[in-house]
Amino acid sequence: MIYYTYTYSTVHQTITRKLITSRSIASHQPILSCPIDAEPLDRYKVGGYHPTTLGCILANGRYKILHKLGWGGYSTVWVARDQREETYVAVKICVSEGGNDRKLQVLDILRRLTSKHSSRLHVMRMLHHFDVDGPNGTHRCLVLELLGPSIPDVIETRFRDGRLPGHVAKEVVKQALLGLDILHDQEIAHGDLHTRNLTFGIAPIDNMPEREFIRILGKPEIGHVHRNDGKCLEPGIPEYIVRPARTYSLPLSNTIKIIDFGESFSLQNVPRTLHTPLAVRAPEVIFQDRLDYRVDLWSLGCMLFELFVGQPPFDSVFTTPEILVSQMHEIINETLPERWLDRWETMRGGAIMESSGPRLQEWLEEVYFDGEKKKDMTMEDIVKLG
């Protein structure tokens, strides 16, 4: 999966990561520990992560690694200085195992879109890509524009009541719709649309000296990796792990961008399923129906609800597909398409699930107006949203 996200730990205490699995014991692989809580150490193996160090130079001297932005199941993401263009960028270093060709194809399309829509584009840009060889294999590296924190991260650090002010939410929604319209105009589905995949842009910083730039991000905190048996680390394991930077400290712009295209697809390459978070997953995915770019519309509706009222419309904890479909029916009160009925009967196991909760408009009003969060939108605004 190829995606771009700025994930940073909110846990400030030191946590020792010890990875012990039956597989590692059976194969006598080394048991590793590190005082930094970050990406799993057992992913540093052949086919997995590339061991990356601060100050290393990639792509024949072009990109200097300065800090870490985050990680995912299929990549680590780093802040770098493009020494040829004299700009700050993000470099996503993917795991060396295969399966990324479809994602790269979509990102190439987005790069061409960028040149057509210039600064009005509200979609993350890919600037360059290259491969790097390492002890764990050959890794595809994507050079992406450097962006700020996600919407939930901004809410967490700047808005104590847990939701955006109404005027900010309206602007975020407007720009997200513009970005999605560009994708759908090309019949490209995002496939993973939710608030964590909306980020703020940053103000121009390319002329900022490296020392000042790193000061804003926070001095990199590293934790050395050790083998618990005292032996030397193998070549594919990094000497140390870096805690992700504080991207919320960067000077933010008013631009909103859609990021993370790991689930994206075109009509020429439609996947069998998507891995969108369950709380915002479209029913077409749940019922294994044919997918196209319109699958984003359901996730968009869920995202709008969350942006304005401060929580998703459906439960996001301990939710199963069966519970989610029941909640959908309860809130929206529409009959399922006939082609889904047989599968629904199988999913619910013959149990009768009655609808007794509030409908969508009632639920919007209840969540927005009942509570301690600041209310700066009118009932008319909430009615329009419904």
Residues annotated in the binding site for ATP, as ranges? 92
Cβ–Cβ under 8 Å, residues 284 and 28? no
| Residue 206 CA to its chain's centroid (Å) | 24
List, as one string, the DSSP characters of 67-105: EEEEEETTEEEEEEEETTTTEEEEEEEE-SSS--HHHHH
Binding-site members are: 92
- Where would I find the H helices in the chain? 22-26, 101-117, 151-158, 166-185, 210-217, 283-286, 296-309, 321-332, 338-348, 360-369, 379-385
Let me know if 320 is exposed, middle or buried by CB neighbors in 10 A (0-12, 13-18, 19+): exposed
Look at residue 328 and give its three-state secondary structure. Answer: helix
Q: Quote the distance between the C-alpha of residue 332 and its chain's center.
A: 28
Rounded to whole angstroms, the Cα distance separating 62 from 130 reads 11
